[in-house]
Amino acid sequence: MVSETVVFGEQAKALAKRDSVDELLQRIRVLERAVAESRESERRYRGLVESGRDMIVRIDTDFRFTFANDACCRTFGRRREDLIGTHMFPVVFPDDLPNTITALKALSEPPHRTSTLERNITSEGIRWIAWEACAILDDEGRVLEYQGIGRDVTEFRRLEQELFRAKNELEQRVRERTAQLEEALSERARIADELERHNRRIRALEQTIPVGIFESDTVGRVIYSNAGLMDLTGYTEEQLSGYGWRIMIAPEGADKVFLGWQRAVQEHQPYFEEVQIRTPDGKHKWVLVQAAPMFGSDGVFRGHVGTVTDITHQKTVQDALRAGEKQLRQAKEEAERADLAKSKFLAAASHDLRQPLQAANLFMAVLQNRVNEEERRFVLDKLQQSLSALESLLNALLDVSKLEAGVSQPSPSIFPVGELFIQLASEFAPRAAERRLRFRVVPASVYLRTDRTFLERILRNLLSNALAYTEQGGILLGARRRGRHLRIEVWDTGIGIPADKLEEIFEDFSQLGNEHRDRDRGLGLGLAIVKRIAKLLDSRVTVRSRPGKGSVFACDIPLAHPAPQAAPAADEPGHAPSEGPGRLIAVIDDEVSVREGLALLLSDW
């Protein structure tokens, strides 16, 4: 029994031990499954962490990386082994670092979570990262690590900023547009008020203005007449409406007026016509009808608007003016004929007027040669001066008359200008020497094509003028080429001419600095004759002058093209040889007194 009991006890212990081992094995298997599941869960977690787009990091309390997933390494452009254990400061934008540290330290307080938006320095530059951070605590609630999940929101941030800017811009435009609309509404209201006031003024003006105003439709019928039109014509608005306005047109021109009006209506053209009307009491008036076509905003013809103005008085004045103008033209034509007849008479009589003076001068010269007494010679000299002054005045007046009458016309010829200069020098050099003035001629070897006599008179008058107004210094006669012309100039060192008198000196009887009319300085006709002769030669005399320094007179004369060959030198006609028998002098003139006077003078010589 005892042995059985022992055996039973041993068996029970063996069974108990076997149950304990089975239980232990079962627990071990449970633990192994838990470890395997944990490893699988960790593997899935790591796969999720590493394969995700979001950055996952853990940072210790010294702000050093303890973990970084692949997305974080790619973003920062650094390997995991290079990143773990380093501070996070280099990857945070310096301006955002204080806020980031403050946000991490705040995780030690509940709820131990925070959201931040900061700029990080990445391999692609500065990017905006949105972080969701939390604190990992121990059993006593102390912070072991900080864990953060970050997402690149740079593009979202850019879009957000653009949206913000667009929103601000839109709001600004809305404000501006609203202000513009308010201003436009205000301006429209102001314009409407102004237009209404303007319309009231126009309506008041239409009814008070002493001018007829009408409006017509698209076929020319009058649809509106103001009070001025009714007062002017004497007809009522009803009588003038439609085509009734034709009753006011005088019968003599009714058809012309109506046809012209219809043409303007059909062609949508303005209308302008002087019309004679007849009032109900039978009186006639002249009116000016003016009308302009009207078009709508769509460009469609709407009719005409026009005015009717009383021009009866103007027509009366115009008729009187026409009659007066006709009389004035007749009087002017008669005066011009009389003036032309006078000029032609003086030009024709010039020969007869000069002959007695020439004869008197010749006889006076003979008498001077034959009188020896001092007293009688003095009287004869004064008489000779008077005759010379009279002859100069008469010659100048006759020259002006002949030029005005068109009697003198140029006869162009080709001649060497040098010969003309020599001739003038032989005449004016002695006269200049008598006044102790220098006289210089610049030689010229070109040929001119013009009237030699007219050119000589121009230069003679200019040289005489220079001598008369030069007290010291000298006079120069010269020329220079100007293209196809020769510019002939007369220089002097005389009193000069003020700028405001340069045109006046070419007028008849105009003299400067000769208030006492000293005849030694001429008659004031020399430059007037020069101006007229230059015009005949298709030239113009110009002048430059400085008061107190002198003057320069110039005229342009055409050169001869081609220039003729110089002829061989020969004795001048009429030049008597230095040796040989005496010669016969023949005097030919159609005036007996001139022949006799010249014969006596030559005989005395």
pLDDT digits (tens, 9 = 90+) for 83-122: 899 988 888 999 988 998 888 888 888 888 988 888 998 8
Secondary structure class of 167 (helix, strand, coil)? helix
Kindly provide the residue ranges of all beta strands, DSSP E only, lying in 91-137, ordered along the sequence. 113-122, 125-137
Domain edge (last residue) among 249, 283, 310: 310
- Please give the tally of structural domains in the chain: 4
In-domain check, residue 281: yes
Cα atoms found within 13 Å of the Cα of residue 549, Cβ hemisphere only = 7
Q: How confident is the model at residue 459 (pLDDT cuts 50, 70, 90)?
A: very high
Domain edge (last residue) among 355, 373, 408: 408
DSSP secondary structure letters along 329-393:
HHHHHHHHHHHHHHHHHHHHHHHHHHHHHHHHHHHHHHHHHH---HHHHHHHHHHHHHHHHHHHH
For the stretch 177-208, pLDDT in tens is 888 888 888 888 888 888 888 777 776 666 66
| Domain shared by 555 and 414, yes or no | yes
| Domain shared by 306 and 324, yes or no | no
Q: How many CB atoms lie within 10 A of CB 361?
A: 18
| Domain shared by 374 and 419, yes or no | no
**Spatial separation of the C-alpha atoms in residues 575 and 124, rounded to whole Å:** 118
Nearby residues of 148 by Cβ (< 8 Å), 6 or more positions away: 55, 56, 57, 58, 59, 131, 132, 133, 134
**Spatial separation of the C-alpha atoms in residues 305 and 224, rounded to whole Å:** 9
Q: How confident is the model at residue 566 (pLDDT cuts 50, 70, 90)?
A: low
Which tops the pLDDT comparison, 380 or 516?
A: 380
Which stretches of 52-153 are DSSP H helices?
Answer: 70-76, 80-83, 97-105
Return the minimum-mean-pLDDT range out of 42-56, 411-425, 486-500: 42-56
**Spatial separation of the C-alpha atoms in residues 517 and 540, rounded to whole Å:** 27
Interhelix angle 417-434/452-468, nearest 10 degrees:
20
Which tops the pLDDT comparison, 138 or 37?
A: 138
Secondary structure class of 584 (helix, strand, coil)? coil
Dmax over CA atoms of the chain, in Å, equals 224
Which residues constitute the domain of residue 235?
209-310
In-domain check, residue 124: yes
- My answer on whether omega of the bond before 562 falls inside 30° of 0, hence cis, is yes
| Domain shared by 414 and 399, yes or no | no
Backbone angles phi, psi at 423, to 5 degrees: -60, -45
Q: What is the pLDDT of residue 570?
A: 42
Q: What is the pLDDT of residue 572?
A: 43
CATH number at residue 230: 3.30.450.20
CB 412 within 8 A of CB 441: no
| Domain shared by 414 and 560, yes or no | yes
| Domain shared by 294 and 337, yes or no | no
| Domain shared by 345 and 448, yes or no | no
For the stretch 401-414, pLDDT in tens is 666 656 567 889 99
Q: Which amino acid is it at 368?
A: Q
Domain edge (last residue) among 103, 122, 152: 152
Closest to 213 measured CA to CA, from 154, 114, 292:
292
Polymer length in residues for the chain: 605
| Domain shared by 425 and 533, yes or no | yes
For the stretch 279-326, pLDDT in tens is 898 888 898 999 999 998 888 999 999 999 988 888 888 888 888 888
- DSSP structural state of residue 246: G
Measuring CA to CA, how many Å separate 555 from each of 129, 482, 534, 537? Answer: 96, 11, 8, 10
**Residue percentage of the chain with pLDDT more than 70:** 74
Q: How confident is the model at residue 506 (pLDDT cuts 50, 70, 90)?
A: confident
In-domain check, residue 287: yes
Q: What is the pLDDT of residue 577?
A: 47
Nearby residues of 592 by Cβ (< 8 Å), 6 or more positions away: none
In-domain check, residue 10: no
* Pairing, β 438-441 against β 474-482: parallel
Q: What is the pLDDT of residue 399?
A: 60
**Spatial separation of the C-alpha atoms in residues 503 and 543, rounded to whole Å:** 9
Mean predicted confidence (pLDDT) in 160-172: 88
In-domain check, residue 302: yes
In-domain check, residue 19: no
Is 70 exceeded by the pLDDT of residue 247?
Answer: yes
Tokens of 189: 């209201």
The whole-model pTM stands at: 0.38
Residue indicated by tokens 């060497």: 416
Tokens of 99: 């806020």
For the stretch 320-376, pLDDT in tens is 888 888 888 887 887 777 666 665 555 555 555 566 666 666 666 666 666 666 656
Tokens of 308: 């009717």
For the stretch 462-476, pLDDT in tens is 998 889 889 999 999
CATH number at residue 384: 1.10.287.130
Q: Which amino acid is it at 77?
A: G
Going edge to edge, which strands form the sheet with 301-310?
A: 222-225, 212-216, 301-310, 284-295, 271-278
Is 60 exceeded by the pLDDT of residue 478?
Answer: yes
Is 70 exceeded by the pLDDT of residue 482?
Answer: yes
**Spatial separation of the C-alpha atoms in residues 525 and 529, rounded to whole Å:** 6
**Spatial separation of the C-alpha atoms in residues 24 and 462, rounded to whole Å:** 154
Tokens of 85: 């254990």
Is 70 exceeded by the pLDDT of residue 9?
Answer: no
Mean predicted confidence (pLDDT) in 570-577: 43
* Pairing, β 271-278 against β 222-225: unpaired
In-domain check, residue 16: no
Which tops the pLDDT comparison, 345 or 440?
A: 440
| Domain shared by 386 and 457, yes or no | no
| Domain shared by 421 and 488, yes or no | yes
Which tops the pLDDT comparison, 43 or 81?
A: 81
Closest to 488 measured CA to CA, from 524, 512, 521, 452:
452
Q: What is the pLDDT of residue 138?
A: 87
CATH number at residue 537: 3.30.565.10
**Spatial separation of the C-alpha atoms in residues 278 and 285, rounded to whole Å:** 6
In-domain check, residue 551: yes
Closest to 488 measured CA to CA, from 409, 399, 410, 559:
559
Q: How many CB atoms lie within 10 A of CB 474?
A: 16
| Domain shared by 417 and 548, yes or no | yes
- DSSP structural state of residue 135: E
Average per-residue pLDDT for the chain: 80
| Alpha-carbon torsion (121, 123, 127, 131), positive or negative | negative
Nearby residues of 394 by Cβ (< 8 Å), 6 or more positions away: 353, 354, 357
| Domain shared by 441 and 550, yes or no | yes
CB 86 within 8 A of CB 59: no
